[in-house]
Amino acid sequence: MSDPRPSVILNVDDNEGARYAKTRILQRAGFAVLEAATGHEALSKVRDASPELVLLDVKLPDINGLEVCRRIKTDPETASTLVLQTSAAAVHSIDKVRALDGGADSYLTEPIEPPELIANVRALLRVRHAENALRESEERFRQMAENIEDVFWMLDPMTDELLYVSPSYHRVWGHDAVIPKAGAKHWSDDVHPGDAVRIAAAYRALLAEGTFEEEYRIVRPDGAVCWVSERGFPVRDAHGRIYRLAGIASDISERKRNELLLRDADQRKDQFLAMLAHELRNPLAPIRNAIELMQVDRLRSAETFDSARAIISRQVTHLSRLVDDLLDVSRITQGKITLKREPVEMTAAVSAALETVQPAIAKKQHDISIHLPDAPLYVSGDAVRISQVIANVLSNACKYTPEHGELSLTVTHVDGNVKITVRDNGVGILPDMLSRAFELFVQSENSLERSEGGLGIGLPLARTLVDLHGGTIEAFSAGLGQGSEFVMMLPLLPADQVPMVSVPAEIREAPHARRLLLVDDSVDAAEALSLLLGTLGHDVRTANDPWTALELTDTFDPQVIILDIGLPGMDGFELARTMRGKPGTAGALLIALTGYGQERDRQLSREAGFDHHFVKPVSVNEIQEVIERAANS
C-alpha cells in the first residue's frame, strides 16, 4: 500500500508574496507545506521537521540560498533531503551551475508556472522514493525508472552482469541499450577515448568497493560528444548485505556548456582589458615626445611650440574618442562602434598615423618612404579612426620587420577609391596564415621570435573600422622572408562634397569677463584650466574641496561656477544644490565638469541644478561659448 501521508515540503523565500503563492500551489497539489523566510530559519526547520524536499530561493537576506543548500547537503543528518533551487532569470545561467555544483537536486528559473513547479517537485520526490524502493523491490524501481529522464541501471556484482538499463538510455546515448555482461571496463562501450582509462579504473573500484561517482564524456552514434554524470551505489538486502549495484547517469551537457560560457566570459573580460591597454597607450608616445620637445631650450621657437601643441591636441582628441568607445563594454563587444563622419583629407590622416608610429620606427631604425598624391584626396569618414587604421597597419609592418628594414606607405587615387598601400621587407606571412591575418588574437609564429610582443588586435580592429567606412583591406605575401603588403581601399569623396579650407578655431579673449570659481580636487587639473580661463580675461579663483568652495562663494561672489562631480566629502551634486540654495549663488551659471558622461549622469546634473554638463577632457572654447551665451542672454 502507498503511504497516505502527504509529502512535507519546506518553502524558503524571503519575498512574502512569492512564498505565499508557491505555498498555495503546493497545498492545492496535496503537499504539506512549511515556510521559512531566512536561511537560518530554513536550516533549523530542516533539522527539526525533516521535510522530504526544500524549495529554496537563491536570494535570502541572511545566508545565500546556495550556501544553505551546501550546509544541508554536507550535514550527515540532513544530506538526504532533496533541494529544488530557484532564482530569477537574470542570473539563471550562473546560478544554475553553482546550484547544481553545490549539491542541489534540481533547479528552476523564476517566475515558475504552477504546472512546472508541481511537475518538478513530483519528479524529484519520485526519484527519492525510487531510491528507497530499490532496497525493497527491483521491480518497483524498474517501473519508476520508465518515467524519468535520467538513466538507471542495475548490476549483479556476483556475476558482473548488467541486469537493467532504463529507456532514457536512448535519449542520452543516442541508441537502444543492449544488456551484455558488463565486464571490468564499463557497462557502456561509448565512453570517450580520452576518459576511458579513468572510467575503467573507477568502474573496477565500483565492482570491488560498491562506490562510483564520475563525470565523463560519451560519443553518440552521430559523432556528437555529450557529458554525463554517473553515480553508482550498493543496494543492500534486509541483512545489510550488498546484493545489487545500481546507478544513475544524468546528461550534464548543458551544465558543461554553462561552465564553458563562464570561462568565455572571463576570457572576454581579459580580451577587453588587453584591447583597452593597447588602444590607450598608442597616443601617449607622441604626446610625451611633444612635451619633451617643448622643454628643450634650444628649440623654443614659436613654430616648434605650435607644432608640439598641435600634436598634443590631435592625440588628446584621439585618446578621448578611444576612451568614449572602449569604456562602453557592451558596444565594443557587440561591434557597435559609432563613426563621427566628416570629410577627411588623407595627407592629414597619414601624418596623424605617423606621429603615433614614429617612435617604434625610430627605435628599430627603419627606412620609411612616404608617397602622397600631389592634390588632396578626401574620404567621408572618422578622421581619428582612419588614422588609427593606418597606424595599426604601419605598427604591424614595423613589428614584423627586423632592424634597419624598409617600409613604404603610398596613397593613390584608383577607380573612385583612395588606395593606401603599406609594404615591408620583413618576415612575411605563411600562406595558411594569410586567411587568418585579420582574426582577433592571431599572430604569426615568425614574429622575430615574438620579441615584439603585442596582443594581436591591431589588424582585426583595422578591418572592422575599414568595413565600417565601406572599404576593404587585404594582406599579401610571397611567403617567409618575402615581406608583406597590406592594401586598403576607401571610397573617394565626390568633388562637390570636398570642403573649403578653414582655419582652426583659436582661443579668443572673452568679451565678457566674469568672476569664475573653479572647484576640482585635482590640483593640476584646476591649475591648468584656471590658467587657460585666466588668459581669456576671467577673474578665476580655485578650490580643491567643497568647504573652501563654499567659503569663497561668500567672499568672491562668483558669476560662473565650474564643479567637478567626484569631490571628497561632498559630491558635486550636493555642492551644486547647496550653492543653489544660497542667495549669492542662486543665479550663478553652474557648469558640471566630470569624467561621467552617461545619460543618467546628465539627468542627475539637471536635477542638482547644473546649467551645463561637460565630460572631461573639454576644450576651453566650449566652456567659453556657454559663458558668452549666458552673458548675452
- Please say if the pLDDT value at position 312 is more than 80: no
Q: Are residues 57 and 104 in the same domain?
A: yes
How far apart are alpha carbons 437 and 629 in whole angstroms? 52
Domain-embedded: residue 505: no
> Which of 338, 363, 382 is the C-terminal boundary of a domain?
338
Q: Are residues 486 and 541 in the same domain?
A: no
What percent of the chain clears pLDDT 70, i.e. is strictly above it?
79
- Ordered strands of the 106-110 beta sheet: 32-36, 8-12, 53-57, 82-88, 106-110
- Ordered strands of the 367-371 beta sheet: 367-371, 406-414, 417-424, 484-491, 472-476
Q: Are residues 394 and 523 in the same domain?
A: no
How far apart are alpha carbons 330 and 270 in whole angstroms? 14
**CATH number of domain containing 320:** 1.10.287.130
Q: Are residues 90 and 170 in the same domain?
A: no
Q: Are residues 614 and 604 in the same domain?
A: yes
- Please say if the pLDDT value at position 516 is more than 80: yes
Domain-embedded: residue 547: yes
**10: confidence class by pLDDT, cuts 50, 70, 90:** very high
Q: Are residues 436 and 478 in the same domain?
A: yes
The whole-number average pLDDT for the span 166-191 is 79
pTM: 0.41
- Reading the block at residue 604, the C-alpha cell is 542627475
Name which of 199, 184, 208 is nearest 229 in CA terms.
Answer: 199
Most distant CA pair in the chain, distance: 105
Q: Are residues 130 and 33 in the same domain?
A: yes
| Backbone phi and psi for residue 96, each to the nearest 5 degrees, phi listed first | -65, -45
Instruction: Show the domain range for 403.
Output: 340-499
Query: 180: exposed, middle or buried (C-beta count within 10 Å: 0-12, 13-18, 19+)?
Result: exposed
131 versus 34: the higher-pLDDT residue is 34
Average pLDDT, the chain: 81
Is residue 66 within 8 A of residue 42, CB to CB? The reply is no
Residues with Cβ within 8 Å of residue 67, at least 6 apart in sequence: 39
**CATH number of domain containing 440:** 3.30.565.10
How far apart are alpha carbons 174 and 221 in whole angstroms? 6
Q: Which DSSP string corresponds to 201-241?
A: HHHHHHHHHS-EEEEEEEE-TTS-EEEEEEEEEEEE-TTS-
**CATH number of domain containing 182:** 3.30.450.20
Q: Are residues 324 and 408 in the same domain?
A: no
Output the pLDDT for position 140: 60
Residue with cell 550534464: 252
Q: Are residues 333 and 349 in the same domain?
A: no
Domain-embedded: residue 67: yes
Query: ∠ at Cα 197 (193, 202), nearest 5°?
Result: 125
| Backbone phi and psi for residue 79, each to the nearest 5 degrees, phi listed first | -60, -25
> Which of 251, 285, 304 is the C-terminal boundary of a domain?
251
- Please say if the pLDDT value at position 236 is more than 50: yes
Domain-embedded: residue 1: no
Name which of 409, 446, 450 is nearest 431 in CA terms.
Answer: 446
Domain-embedded: residue 297: yes
> Which of 134, 158, 187 is the C-terminal boundary of a domain?
134
**CATH number of domain containing 73:** 3.40.50.2300
**509: confidence class by pLDDT, cuts 50, 70, 90:** very low
Domain-embedded: residue 564: yes
The string of pLDDT tens digits covering residues 83-97 is 999 887 655 567 778
- Please say if the pLDDT value at position 508 is more than 60: no
Question: What distance, in Å, lies between the first and last C-alpha atoms of the chain?
Answer: 92
Domain-embedded: residue 2: no
CB atoms within 10 A of CB 194: 11
Is residue 54 within 8 A of residue 12, CB to CB? The reply is yes
The whole-number average pLDDT for the span 185-198 is 87
How far apart are alpha carbons 136 and 237 in whole angstroms? 8
The string of pLDDT tens digits covering residues 192-218 is 999 999 998 888 888 788 788 999 999
Q: Which residues on adjacent β-strands are paired with residue 343? A: 380
Name which of 552, 557, 506, 505 is nearest 526 in CA terms.
Answer: 552
Residue with cell 582628441: 317
The whole-number average pLDDT for the span 364-374 is 91
- Please say if the pLDDT value at position 605 is more than 80: yes
The string of pLDDT tens digits covering residues 59-80 is 899 998 999 999 999 998 998 8
**285: confidence class by pLDDT, cuts 50, 70, 90:** low
Q: Which residues on adjacent β-strands are paired with residue 231? A: 213, 248
How far apart are alpha carbons 214 and 356 in whole angstroms? 55
The whole-number average pLDDT for the span 324-339 is 55
- Ordered strands of the 612-615 beta sheet: 539-543, 515-519, 560-564, 589-594, 612-615
How far apart are alpha carbons 40 and 49 in whole angstroms? 14
Q: Are residues 88 and 172 in the same domain?
A: no
Domain-embedded: residue 231: yes
| Cα-based distances in Å from 367 to 14, 60, 401, 424, 482 | 71, 67, 11, 10, 17
Instruction: Encode 501-535: b = buried (16+ Cβ within 10 Å), e = exposed.
Output: eeeeeeeeebeebbebbbbbeeeebbeebbebbee
The whole-number average pLDDT for the span 415-423 is 95
The string of pLDDT tens digits covering residues 427-448 is 998 887 887 777 755 555 444 3
Q: Are residues 123 and 56 in the same domain?
A: yes
The whole-number average pLDDT for the span 253-280 is 71
- Strands 32-36 and 8-12 turn out to be parallel
Q: Are residues 332 and 390 in the same domain?
A: no
How far apart are alpha carbons 111 and 95 in whole angstroms? 15
Question: Number of folded domains in the chain?
Answer: 5
Output the pLDDT for position 631: 83
The string of pLDDT tens digits covering residues 340-355 is 889 999 998 998 888 8
- Please say if the pLDDT value at position 586 is more than 80: yes
Output the pLDDT for position 118: 93
